[in-house]
């Protein structure tokens, strides 16, 4: 018994009133996903590819679509076998536009991927620079050194030996692209690819310039000034226009992208435009109140701690954070966590004073001893009935 075919609209995942553009878009996605060259040895993918192709061949043809909408699969059953493509002439279906894109992705060429011999912008160059935490907050000027290509002064960028000129590429006729054919399930498909001889320029160099070896460019070591804006964060980039690779056929240079690497700070941590730090305070300051010194990116700040301040209390220093990249006059805040610092070394006099202080403020040093003594007093004794209070 032959396998029942799915509805063509369901296969492509489109509505029955879909226009030609929606049909083509849906098929392009499925064809690229299930194409055998993208899924070698996958029988299920090949089956889905054939199913989608059959649906597209019908729905992309106005007359076949009209027949299918009226009679369904029965409109084509007379000429096809089970599991085949029905009775369609697939050579008449327009797959060239779609498969130009698909084969371009698979094989590295393609109608849209082919390079032209017109002016093209040069590639971008990436570099990096290291700065300190404070430099990221306030901005800084840095100098980096890197290798840049400049037009060869001997051949003026042509790559040809002085006195000669590049010749028109015989393979592509100066177009920069060549047409080749690709066998598919539907016969022969025409495709366009960048010319392998001239690499898309349309010109070939017979006698290369001895100075640049035919490249048209000379590499030089140069120093570039980089303006790091205030508020930049780790991993962000500064773009310097026209400092990248030279363009081709008169195109502009690419850009230089400088990644900023911000060093760690021993005290400060950053989150967005806010700064965080922890500041120790003595027990005396926490209990009695007083002034402490807080380090900020703007320098030292005197802060008045209130009496009875507990450890892990957080305070906010407004406007002491990081400037906004969009507006350096707008700054985040600095959040400080106050932590009571316990001394690890005390003199005998200091210990005696601390014991006296404890006696006046709750006698916490003897709390456990007092509880133990009380338990012993209230526990049952000998044969007597004693007190009945229980301790747990």
Quick check: is 392 in a domain? no
State percent of the chain over pLDDT 70.
80
Average pLDDT of the residues in 295-306: 93
Residue 280 is predicted with a pLDDT of 93
Residue 134 is predicted with a pLDDT of 94
Residue 136 is predicted with a pLDDT of 94
- Based on the domain organization, do 84 and 187 belong to the same domain? no
Residue 189 is predicted with a pLDDT of 64
- Based on the domain organization, do 129 and 219 belong to the same domain? yes
Average pLDDT of the residues in 96-107: 50
Q: For residue 186, what pLDDT band results from cuts at 50, 70 and 90?
A: low
Contact call for residues 335 and 268 (beta carbons, < 8 A): no
- Based on the domain organization, do 254 and 291 belong to the same domain? no
- For the cut 60, the answer to whether the pLDDT of residue 106 exceeds it is no
Quick check: is 347 in a domain? no
Average pLDDT of the residues in 323-328: 88
- For the cut 50, the answer to whether the pLDDT of residue 84 exceeds it is no
Residue 336 is predicted with a pLDDT of 95
- Based on the domain organization, do 217 and 332 belong to the same domain? no
Per-residue exposure over 59-86, b if at least 16 CB sit within 10 Å of its own CB, e if not: bbbeebbeebeeeeeebbeeeeeeeebb
CATH code: domain of residue 201: 2.10.230.10
pLDDT digits (tens, 9 = 90+) for 211-247: 888 888 888 899 999 999 999 999 999 999 988 888 8
Cβ partners under 8 Å of residue 105, min gap 6: 32, 113
- For the cut 90, the answer to whether the pLDDT of residue 316 exceeds it is yes
* Boundary (domain end) residue, out of 39, 71, 94: 94
Q: What integer best gives the mean pLDDT of the chain?
A: 81
- For the cut 90, the answer to whether the pLDDT of residue 21 exceeds it is no
CA neighbours within 13 Å on the CB side: how many for 223? 3
Quick check: is 63 in a domain? yes
Q: Alpha-carbon distance 4 to 2, whole Å?
A: 6
- Based on the domain organization, do 131 and 256 belong to the same domain? yes
Residue with the larger pLDDT of the pair 118 and 316? 316
Residue 377 is predicted with a pLDDT of 63
Quick check: is 69 in a domain? yes
Quick check: is 22 in a domain? yes
How many independent structural domains does the chain possess? 3
Quick check: is 298 in a domain? yes
Residue 115 is predicted with a pLDDT of 46
- Based on the domain organization, do 252 and 165 belong to the same domain? yes
Residue 143 is predicted with a pLDDT of 93
State percent of the chain over pLDDT 90.
31
Select, from the ranges 50-59, 101-110, 350-359, the one with the highest average predicted confidence (pLDDT): 50-59
Backbone dihedral angles phi then psi of residue 107, each to the nearest 5 degrees: -105, 0
- Based on the domain organization, do 133 and 253 belong to the same domain? yes
What tokens appear for 39 in the block?
Answer: 């899924």
Quick check: is 294 in a domain? yes
- Based on the domain organization, do 148 and 77 belong to the same domain? no
- For the cut 60, the answer to whether the pLDDT of residue 78 exceeds it is no
Cβ-based burial of 297 (10 A; exposed 0-12, middle 13-18, buried ≥19)? buried
- Based on the domain organization, do 149 and 235 belong to the same domain? yes
- Based on the domain organization, do 273 and 257 belong to the same domain? no
- Based on the domain organization, do 303 and 286 belong to the same domain? yes
Residue 187 is predicted with a pLDDT of 57
Quick check: is 371 in a domain? no
Average pLDDT of the residues in 91-120: 51
Residue 111 is predicted with a pLDDT of 40
DSSP codes of every residue in 70-85: HHGGGGTGGG--TTS-
Residue 271 is predicted with a pLDDT of 93
Q: For residue 40, what pLDDT band results from cuts at 50, 70 and 90?
A: confident
- Based on the domain organization, do 199 and 288 belong to the same domain? no
Contact call for residues 234 and 177 (beta carbons, < 8 A): no
Residue 94 is predicted with a pLDDT of 53
Average pLDDT of the residues in 132-154: 91
- For the cut 90, the answer to whether the pLDDT of residue 365 exceeds it is no
pLDDT digits (tens, 9 = 90+) for 328-347: 889 999 999 999 988 888 88
Q: Give the global pTM.
A: 0.56
* Boundary (domain end) residue, out of 238, 262, 286: 262
What tokens appear for 47 in the block?
Answer: 């089956």
pLDDT digits (tens, 9 = 90+) for 196-208: 878 777 888 888 8
Helix (H, G, I), strand (E, B) or coil at 378: helix
Q: Which domain holds residue 296?
A: 269-341
- The CA R_g of the chain, rounded to the nearest whole Å, is 39
* Boundary (domain end) residue, out of 262, 280, 300: 262
Average pLDDT of the residues in 10-31: 89
């Amino acid at each position: 018994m032959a396998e029942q075919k799915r509805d063509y609209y369901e296969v492509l995942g489109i509505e029955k009133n879909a226009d030609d553009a929606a049909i083509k878009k849906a098929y392009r996605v499925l064809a690229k996903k299930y194409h055998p060259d993208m899924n070698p040895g996958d029988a299920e993918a090949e089956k889905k590819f054939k199913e989608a192709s059959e649906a597209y061949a019908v729905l992309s043809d106005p007359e076949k679509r009209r027949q299918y909408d009226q009679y369904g699969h029965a409109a084509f059953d007379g000429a096809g076998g089970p599991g085949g493509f029905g009775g369609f002439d697939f050579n008449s279906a327009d797959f060239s536009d779609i498969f130009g894109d698909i084969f371009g992705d698979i094989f590295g060429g393609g109608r849209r991927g082919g390079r032209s011999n017109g002016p093209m912008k040069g590639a971008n160059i990436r570099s990096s620079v290291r700065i300190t935490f404070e430099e990221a907050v306030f901005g800084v000027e840095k100098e980096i050194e890197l290798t840049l290509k400049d037009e060869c002064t001997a051949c003026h960028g042509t790559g040809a030996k002085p006195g000669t000129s590049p010749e028109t590429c015989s393979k592509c006729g100066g177009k920069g692209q060549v047409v080749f054919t690709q066998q598919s399930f539907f016969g022969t498909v025409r495709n366009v690819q960048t010319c392998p001889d001239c690499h898309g320029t349309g010109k070939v160099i017979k006698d290369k310039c001895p100075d640049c070896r035919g490249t048209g460019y000379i590499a030089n070591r140069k120093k570039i000034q980089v303006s790091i804006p205030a508020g930049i964060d780790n991993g962000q980039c500064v773009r310097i226009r026209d400092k990248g690779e030279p363009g081709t056929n008169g195109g502009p240079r690419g850009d230089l992208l400088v990644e900023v690497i911000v060093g760690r700070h021993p005290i400060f941590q950053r989150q967005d435009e806010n700064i965080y730090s922890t500041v120790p305070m003595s027990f005396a300051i926490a209990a009695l109140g007083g002034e402490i010194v807080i380090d900020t990116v703007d320098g030292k700040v005197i802060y008045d701690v209130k009496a009875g301040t507990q450890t892990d209390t957080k305070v906010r220093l407004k406007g002491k954070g990081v400037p906004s990249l969009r507006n350096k006059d707008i700054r985040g805040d600095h959040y400080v966590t106050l932590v009571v610092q316990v001394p690890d070394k005390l003199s005998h006099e200091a210990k005696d004073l601390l014991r006296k202080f404890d006696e006046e403020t709750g006698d916490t040093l003897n709390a456990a001893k007092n509880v133990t003594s009380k338990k012993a007093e209230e526990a049952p004794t000998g044969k007597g009935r004693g007190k009945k209070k229980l301790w747990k």
